[in-house]
Structure 1
């Protein structure tokens, strides 16, 4: 028995309302043809299959009021056929937004999702938000989080906001605070790790960072939040500088590596945490205070995920 072919829609004729005049045809079709992959829309435009007032047009054609657009029959994706980016991922990221205004999005990024494509990944958070916010033409990451780190991530929707936040990040205008679950009993007196960090790439292409006098200056402030006997400590980490893998390497250098850290961690400690259900890197950006261009400050907080919360509960009952 053959599988039925995916559904198709017939020829569509769309009339351009006066308030939509001046819009590019590619943007118009992306909003009108819900559920049709963007790649398919650009393909039919490139091939000249879309006609306006019975004539061929280019993708950059600007619509005029009263234009009649003929859209050819389209093969629609099956419900379980992947869209350019999986709907599940898009919905998960949309639900993760903790703050949004006309120029800025702040989301509580789930662990395991890269901030951008590359290194064998086709997509990341920024590619997803370009699809979720197609009208924000200048959408860009303000900063980065490691793929396995969860928590607050800023995305600028306007270049002016991107410039403003980059300037704030270069100074000391942005206050970023992380939570980390580390091995052993972190001493209250150990309030900072000040150690230069040097980046290197292994033969495999993997990036590693080490404490090295030839590296760049790096400073992280630490504060104990909760102890779990001699076994583990929940600490707050506040990076004063913004180096790659800074908190992870500084925690290791301080003698207390982070649970679930496959690069800089301790396999035995990670196994014990995994046995409690903690199958992730225990580093989470939980608080962010940023200056706004018009004055004042924005403060946002992000809760930890269910896996983190359950693991900490089990540690308490151990």
Structure 2
């Protein structure tokens, strides 16, 4: 039987939630249920209130309950929908999947390597511009802090001005603890637990920033702890006390143990030793953060897992160490 064009038009769907999906976030449920629909579209219909639960608007973080009646607006499903997105739009859509915590005050993402936190320096968009595009109804979205474009890991975004003020105050008073994982050159000396070296930032004509240790610079302090040794490389935890540009990258270079695949402060010979691990990006990851929630005063501890590239690198290094 041939179908008319009208038969092919997407229709409103009504779904009764069972115990199998109880406790699942509505956004994650829709990503699975509407297989082939771009995630950016899913979040758009959620934020516009076109998805209803028990005839009421809900937020993307709403957790489903058994017996909930879900109304899904007409959306066109295409298996090619996401693959046809430009690389830039695909990165934007993927940021919603990178959220590791969200409430009414803030959201925290595990930022992928290769995307800047904000536009500028020849970049038309960054994480904050992307979220403002994905969430046009949001009245306030601001970065609490920054991490380098090639660094991955925890990034906090405030959803209220009061939250931004509170978290900025914690940063100013050094009450927020941020820990990074970095793979560094050589055998990191156990006695090197703190580096205190002033950092001076120089802006090049190209707009790039180059930072160096200089007495003209600002006081800077990073604490280090060895996590794992591989002979020619060491996995360390770096905890910056101050928050200077490129601080961890320059302090590790200053100790003659630069970070793997750092195209600005690194060591090409060291990078070549790591080629068989599949590593092709800066091995610096913001893995953990601790702060006081701006509204509830609860101590928050959040962890962001390593991406597959960094994890695979460590797997190979561990396997080679056992040989």
TM-score band by shorter chain is 0.7 to 0.9
Indicate the residue corresponding to 1:92 in structure 2: 94
Q: Which of residues 301, 307, 310 in structure 1 aligns to 2:309?
A: 307
| Paired residue secondary structure (2:163) | helix
Q: Secondary structure of 1:263's partner?
A: coil
Indicate which of 160, 163, 167 corresponds to 2:162.
160
Specify the alignment match of 1:285 in structure 2: 286
Residue 140 and residue 84 in structure 1: after superposition, are their counterparts in 2 closer, same or farther (change >3 A)? farther
Q: What is the CA-CA distance between 1:281 and the residue it aligns to?
A: 0.2
Counterpart Cα distance in 1 of 2:170 and 2:162: 12
Residues of 2 paired with 1:216 and 1:285: CA distance? 23
Kindly indicate whether the alpha-carbon contact (under 8 Å) linking 1:136 and 1:158 is maintained by their aligned counterparts in 2. no
Distance across 2 between alignment mates of 1:306 and 1:149: 14
Separation of aligned partners in 2, 1:308 and 1:84: 22
Measure, in 1, the Cα distance between the counterparts of 2:288 and 2:92: 24
The TM-score, its normalising length taken from structure 1, stands at 0.73
TM-score, length-normalised on structure 2? Answer: 0.72
Partner of 2:107: 105
- TM-fit CA distance, 1:296: 2.0
Query: What's the Cα RMSD here?
Result: 2.3
Q: In 1, distance between residues paired with 2:141 and 2:197?
A: 34
Equivalent-residue separation in structure 1 for 2:278 and 2:96 (angstroms): 26
Equivalence map 1:154-233=2 (5 Å):
154-229=156-231, 231-233=232-234
Shift in alpha-carbon separation, 1:223–1:84, aligned structure 2, 3 A? closer
Gaps of 5+ in 2: 1-8, 10-43, 52-79
Tell me if structure 2 keeps the 8 A contact 1:109–1:153: yes
Structure 1 residues 273, 133: CA separation in 2 closer, same or farther (over 3 Å shift)? same
The aligned length equals 247
Relative to structure 1, the CA distance from residue 226 to residue 83 in structure 2 (aligned partners, 3 Å threshold; closer, same or farther) is closer
Find 1:31's aligned residue among 39, 48, 64. 48
Change (3 A) 1:303 1:32: closer
Q: Is the 8 A contact 2:100 2:110 kept in 1?
A: yes
Q: SS where residue 143 of structure 1 aligns? A: coil
**C-alpha distance in 2 between matches for 1:110 and 1:82:** 18
> Equivalents in 2 of 1:204, 1:90: separation in Å?
26
Equivalent residue for 2:260?
259
Q: Is the 8 A contact 1:178 1:284 kept in 2?
A: yes
